[in-house]
Each structure stands twice: as C-alpha cells, then as structure tokens.
C-alpha cells in the first residue's frame, strides 16, 4: 500500500500486557503526516480538521491536541457535546458545530466560544436576535445547500434572507460553506454543478470566507479549495476517491490474538450456523476479535464466498464462516505453524489489510469501519 510504514510488531507484542487479546494502535505521526499532506494539497487555503464522532473513532483526546500542535487552528465537530469536549482540549481553536443551533442552546455556544454552522433562515434569525440581546456580534458559519438536499439553506431561503441587512448586521458571518455529495467519484458532474451553485448563492450573502471541500473535494483540485478545506477521513488514513491509490498513510492498526488452532477434517463445518463446510483437511485459527471489536458480522462468509484476507506475519489467511461477538475463525492451513500458533498476533487492519479492503468485504465504507472500532481492544497511541 502506498505510503505505509510497517510498525514494529515485536515491540507491540512486548509492550502489550501478556493478557491482551486485541490491540488497536493509532499512529499519530501518520495522522500528522496526512494533515501536512492535506495542507500542501489545499494551499494557499487553510486546512481545518473534522474531528466529529471522537475523531472518526480514533480518539478526540489524542487526535485534537496533536493536530493543534501541528498548527491546525480550525476544527469541525458534529454536535455541541463534541464541541464542549474539544474546547477543553484545544482552548484557542476555532470550533464549528455542524449540527447548527438547536433551540435554547445559544448561550452554551457563547459561553465556550463555539460557532454554530447555521442551517436555516430560522437558525440565522435566532442567532442574530441572541447576539443582539447580548449586545455582541457573535461569529457563526452559514451552510448553503448546493444540491445534496441534506443540511443547509435552500436557494429560496438564501433569497429570503439575502437582503435582510439587520439580520447580517447583528452577527458576524465568519464562514459560508456547502458540502459535496459525489466528490468520491472524480468524474461525477454533480461536483461541478454544486460548485457553481455554491458560487451563485454565496455571492448573494455578505462577504465571508468560503469552504466547500471535504477530503475527496480537496483531491478534485484547487477550484474546490476556496479559503478553507474540511478534511476528515483522509486525516485518519481513509481513501477519499474510489479509484486509484490512496495518497494517505494508514493510521489505524488492529490486531487480534490466536487463542487456539485446531485441525478440522474435510466435510466438517466451522462456526455458528455451520455456514462453511471445509473441502479439505484444514488448520483453523480461532482469533480473539469479533463484532464487538468492529469486525462487522457482514464479514462472515458462507460456502462459495471469499473471506477478507487477514495476515499472520507476512502470511495471508482468509476469514472463514461466521463472525461472532468475540471471535473469528481464520484458515491458516497454508501458514507456517510458527507464525500461526496460540498467542500469535493476526493483523486485521494495517499495512497489509487496508480499511478500504476491510470495508469492501463488509459491504460498507472505511468511515463506518473506523467509527465502529469498539472499546474493548487495548488502545495504544504512538508518535505525535
């Protein structure tokens, strides 16, 4: 995989307590390398960091301070609760809350110097009147819907508020943003249509910094960068575009431990539901991770299906049969016994098993893989 650095497996094994059965390593150096790469790609635009959902499951408490130390000044979270946690970790950062302004929460934003991303004319009015009541012009972003039909002001709503001078005078519009629906498909015509709609609509609003690109949008080129970019998944080693190589380094490494290895005769079945019948005599390793650790149950295989290929040392071994809560079964028939015996580690996500490949076998995307890593594995942060 491009840009991957092999981790020192032996030191991982050495450092983990002997009792650990799963290790989740988060490589903060790789996170920061990805951040610097995104800064270069987006320059001269500012590169913010999207750290919603506990930094995509990797740990806000570790990721946010590391990014702030690396020079990141602007952060986006989804919820006010996430913003409160982030404020403690990054006292001087600019923090935007994508969920916007829920009724009755304006004072919570003000107290902690947080900025709502206002999603409707109603929210804009509420923020403006709250600001006026405090005798302050409080900062905020406005989200324009440029064609995704999810959050943000419609074209009609932009028209309705565009000329409301009193409204705009009462607050400080620090950012106008929109979000791309199809940026992961580089040739999709929707991105360009959204970019044009964004330009048309933001021209009607007071002058402010502009932001359109998520990770995939940054890779669409400089036309999409505007003043500020908002990458999430690329920071965490995800693959923004469907085609081509991943220009970002893997950040997450998940390993599980072999608890037992058994010889199973041809014709026998493996695991719950007896979904997998062995065609030949096999060596089957029972590995100590399951759906409670983010190994989606949809990684299960039945007869005729190819399982996700995981690694013991440098040896490939496919998942067999059903994934259960705490266990998976792996075919190690062709793996030398010295790397496939009780106590050995199996790589489930890492340099050999990308989060995208993992996601593909589970019928999902790397975003969902990362945000579902679970809390049971022993977490280890390196670098940063």
**Which residues have C-beta within 8 Å of that of residue 165, sequence separation ≥ 6?**
none
226 in catalytic set: no
Interaction mask 355-384, ligand PLP, x per CB under 6 A: ------------------------------
What is the token pair recorded at 312? 């013991």
> Measured from the CB of residue 367, what is the shortest distance to ligand PLP in angstroms?
6
Region 161-180 residues binding ligand PLP, contact defined as CB under 6 A: 179
Does position 215 interact with ligand PLP (CB under 6 A)? The reply is yes
Q: At 174, give phi and psi (nearest 5°).
A: -95, -15
Q: Which is nearer to ligand PLP, 87 or 230 (CB)?
A: 230
> Measured from the CB of residue 231, what is the shortest distance to ligand PLP in angstroms?
5
Q: Tell me which of 35, 52, 239, 311 is the catalytic residue.
A: 52
Do residues 348 and 255 lie in contact, with contact meaning Cβ atoms separated by under 8 Å?
yes
Of the candidates 187, 179, 188, the one whose C-alpha atom is nearest the C-alpha of residue 153 is 179
Q: Which is nearer to ligand PLP, 231 or 350 (CB)?
A: 231
Does position 233 interact with ligand PLP (CB under 6 A)? The reply is yes
Q: Which is nearer to ligand PLP, 217 or 271 (CB)?
A: 217
Q: At what angle do helices 80-89 and 60-69 cross, to 10 degrees?
A: 50
Does position 231 interact with ligand PLP (CB under 6 A)? The reply is yes
Q: Which of 7, 66, 90, 98 binds ligand PLP (CB under 6 A)?
A: 98
Q: How far apart are the first and last CA of the chain?
A: 22
> Measured from the CB of residue 185, what is the shortest distance to ligand PLP in angstroms?
13
In 3-state terms, what secondary structure has residue 89?
helix
Sheet with 46-47, edge to edge strand ranges: 46-47, 228-229, 209-211, 171-177, 138-143, 115-118, 94-97, 74-77, 49-50
In 3-state terms, what secondary structure has residue 5?
coil
Q: Which residue has the tokens 């029972």?
A: 286
> Among 66-74, 128-136, 229-237, 348-356, which window interacts with ligand PLP (CB under 6 A)?
229-237
> Among 31-39, 134-142, 210-218, 285-293, which window interacts with ligand PLP (CB under 6 A)?
210-218
73 in catalytic set: no
> Measured from the CB of residue 184, what is the shortest distance to ligand PLP in angstroms?
8
Q: What share of the chain is helix, strand, coil (3-state, %, to 5)?
A: 35, 25, 45
Q: Tell me which of 272, 367, 378, 381 is the catalytic residue.
A: 272
> Measured from the CB of residue 198, what is the shortest distance to ligand PLP in angstroms?
13
Interaction mask 273-312, ligand PLP, x per CB under 6 A: ----------------------------------------
> Among 22-30, 34-42, 211-219, 259-267, which window interacts with ligand PLP (CB under 6 A)?
211-219
**Which residues have C-beta within 8 Å of that of residue 18, sequence separation ≥ 6?**
none
> Measured from the CB of residue 78, what is the shortest distance to ligand PLP in angstroms?
7
E strands, the chain, where? 22-27, 46-47, 49-50, 74-77, 94-97, 115-118, 138-143, 171-177, 209-211, 228-229, 252-264, 269-270, 276-277, 282-287, 309-312, 315-320, 328-331, 345-349, 378-382
What is the token pair recorded at 77? 């979270």
207/375 Cα distance (integer angstroms) = 44
Q: Which is nearer to ligand PLP, 34 or 340 (CB)?
A: 34
Q: Which is nearer to ligand PLP, 34 or 214 (CB)?
A: 214
> Among 3-11, 39-47, 86-94, 226-234, which window interacts with ligand PLP (CB under 6 A)?
226-234
Q: Quick count: other Cβ atoms within 10 Å of Cβ 227?
A: 16
The contact set with ligand PLP (CB under 6 A) reads 50, 52, 98, 179, 214-216, 230-234
Q: What is the set of active-site residues?
A: 52, 272
């Amino acid at each position: 995989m491009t840009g991957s650095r092999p981790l020192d497996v032996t030191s991982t094994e050495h450092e983990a307590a002997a009792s650990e059965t799963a290790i989740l390593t988060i490589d903060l150096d790789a996170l920061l390398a990805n951040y610097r790469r995104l800064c270069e790609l987006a320059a001269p635009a500012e590169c913010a960091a999207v750290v919603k959902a506990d930094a995509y499951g990797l740990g806000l408490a570790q990721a946010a301070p590391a990014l702030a130390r690396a020079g990141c000044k602007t952060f986006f979270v989804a919820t006010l609760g996430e913003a409160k946690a982030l404020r403690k970790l990054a006292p001087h950062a600019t923090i935007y809350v994508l969920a916007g302004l829920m009724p009755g929460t304006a004072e919570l934003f003000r107290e902690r110097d947080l900025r709502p991303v206002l999603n409707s004319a109603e929210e804009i009015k509420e923020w403006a009147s709250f600001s006026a009541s405090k005798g302050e012009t409080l900062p905020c972003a406005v989200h324009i819907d440029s064609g995704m039909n999810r959050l943000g002001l419609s074209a009609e709503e932009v028209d309705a508020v565009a000329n409301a001078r009193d409204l705009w005078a009462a607050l400080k519009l620090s950012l106008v943003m929109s979000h791309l629906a199809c940026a992961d498909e580089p040739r999709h015509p929707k991105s360009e249509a959204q970019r044009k709609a964004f330009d048309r609509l933001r021209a009607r609003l007071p002058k402010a910094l502009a932001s359109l690109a998520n990770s995939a949008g940054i890779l669409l080129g400089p036309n999409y960068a505007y003043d500020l970019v908002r990458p999430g998944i690329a920071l965490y080693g995800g693959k923004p575009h469907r085609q081509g190589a991943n220009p970002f380094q893997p950040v997450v490494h998940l390993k599980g431990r072999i608890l037992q290895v058994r010889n199973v005769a041809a014709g026998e079945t493996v695991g719950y539901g007896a979904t997998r019948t062995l065609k030949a005599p096999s060596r089957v390793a029972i590995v100590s991770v399951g759906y409670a650790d983010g190994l989606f149950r949809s990684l299960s295989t039945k007869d005729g299906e190819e399982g996700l290929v995981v690694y013991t040392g440098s040896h490939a071994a496919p998942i067999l049969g059903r994934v259960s809560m705490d266990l998976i079964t792996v075919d190690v028939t062709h793996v030398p016994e010295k790397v496939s015996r009780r106590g050995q580690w199996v790589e489930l996500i890492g340099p050999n098993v990308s989060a995208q490949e993992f996601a593909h076998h589970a019928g999902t995307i790397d975003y969902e893989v990362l945000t579902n890593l679970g809390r049971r594995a022993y977490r280890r942060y390196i670098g940063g």
